[in-house]
Structure 1
Amino acid sequence: MAHFPVNHPARPIYRVLAGGIGLYILVFGVWGTAQTLGDPLFDRDGNWVLGLRTNLAFSLASVIFGAVLIIGASRRGNLGHYMNLTAGVVFLVTSILMMSVLQTSANFLNFSMSTVIVSMLFGLILLGTGLYDKVGPEEDAEAQRMHRNHPVNESSAR
């Protein structure tokens, strides 16, 4: 099983990063929904919001996804940890899939290259925040600190 640091000192910063991404996605989704409300769900017109191309389906999905990320960032337990890991993978996979169909009729979410790049960046940031925002008992965190600072570990690292 993978090792995730427990009670990392920078955890509040990671939660703010994840919440900021969630807020951006939520604002993008609400603005995009307002702009594309009369259009067909998977329309491929040139609707741009906050520098990203969108349609009604992508905007509605962004509202839901942004709200979920904000909820995850606001929780103190490990819910945010798992949500950020999952969201990071979802963003990365979605951006790669959408990049592969960018210039085809299969681009049903109306992605552009800027949307792909932003999705990849958000995926990497969310994956990074998910790696360091795990919460656990203070005993586990102290055991990890002792293991990292043990003299045998220091000499083997050289």
Structure 2
Amino acid sequence: MDLDTTRSADPRLGVVHRVGTGLLGLVLAGFGATSLFVRLPLFDTRGEVVAGLTTNGALGFLSVAIGSLLLCATVVGGTYSSTVSTLVGAGFIASGLVNLFLMDTAHNILAFSMPNVLFSLVVGIALLTVGMYGRFTGGLPEDNPYRRHRERRRRLRAPAGAAR
């Protein structure tokens, strides 16, 4: 059976990637912008509370940068949005776990507190979910771009003379 290449892939896939990535990007960019408008010290380890989370100038700048990256991925869409969401989500989970151990030390340069750790883990899980939607399952429809990519790789790896 040949795939119809003139028809676009499942439109729900792109909508989930774009909407999820865009909403989380807006939240992060908004939090970072609010932090930067307060003009907090750059690497203050205690920070100030903004929107229920402790922050400093470095965390504000980092939030704006990552939020902007997610918004750019929203505009591009497709597999780029999915990949960026997955990678940034994994980064958020790693950041939450690392900052959990750095909270009460002098190395807490992002002024993390327990609400920040929980926020980081929740956003990481949400981004991973959005990024992996439609990628990692066995029942993908035939027009799913990830299924087509897997089948193409499987055919290339198959030994010569093997049944397809």
TM-score range, shorter chain: 0.7 to 0.9
Deviations 1:121-157 (A, max 9, x none): 00001011111266xxx9543995xxxxxxxxxxxxx
Higher normalized contact order (CA 8 Å, seq sep 6+, divided by chain length): 1
Q: Secondary structure at the match of 2:107?
A: coil
Moved over 6 A (4+): none
Whether 1:102 and 2:103 are equivalent positions in the alignment is yes
For 1:95, the aligned partner's letter is: G
1:68 alignment partner in structure 2 = 69
Q: How many residues align?
A: 135
Instruction: Report deviation, 1:29.
Output: 0.4
Aligned equivalents of 1:140, 1:73: Cα separation in 2? 21
Tell me the secondary structure at the aligned position of residue 144 of structure 2. Answer: helix
Corresponding residue of 1:21: 24
Structure 1 residue 46: deviation in Å? 4.0
Describe the superposition over 1:29-66 as per-residue Cα deviations: whole angstroms up to 9, x where unpaired: 0110111x2x4310134411111100001101111110
Identity %: 30
What SS class does the counterpart of residue 86 from structure 1 fall into? Answer: helix
Deviations 1:95-114 (A, max 9, x none): 10000111111111000100
CA pair 83-133 structure 1, distance change in 2 beyond 3 A = farther
- The alpha-carbon distance between structure 1 residues 40 and 132, as it changes in their structure 2 partners (threshold 3 A), is same
Unpaired runs of 5+ in structure 2?
1-8, 136-140, 148-164
Q: CA offsets per residue over residues 47-102 of structure 1, 9 Å max, x none?
A: 11111100001101111110111111222331101100110110000010000111
| Aligned-partner SS, 2:12 | coil
* CA–CA separation in structure 2 for the residues paired with 1:59 and 1:143: 35
- CA RMSD of the aligned region, Å? 2.5
Scaled by the length of structure 1, the TM-score of the pair is: 0.75
Gaps of 5+ in 1: 1-5, 145-158
TM-score by length of 2: 0.73
**CA distance in structure 1 between the partners assigned to 2:125 and 2:20 by the alignment:** 12
Alpha-carbon distance in structure 1 between the residues aligned to 2:14 and 2:78: 11
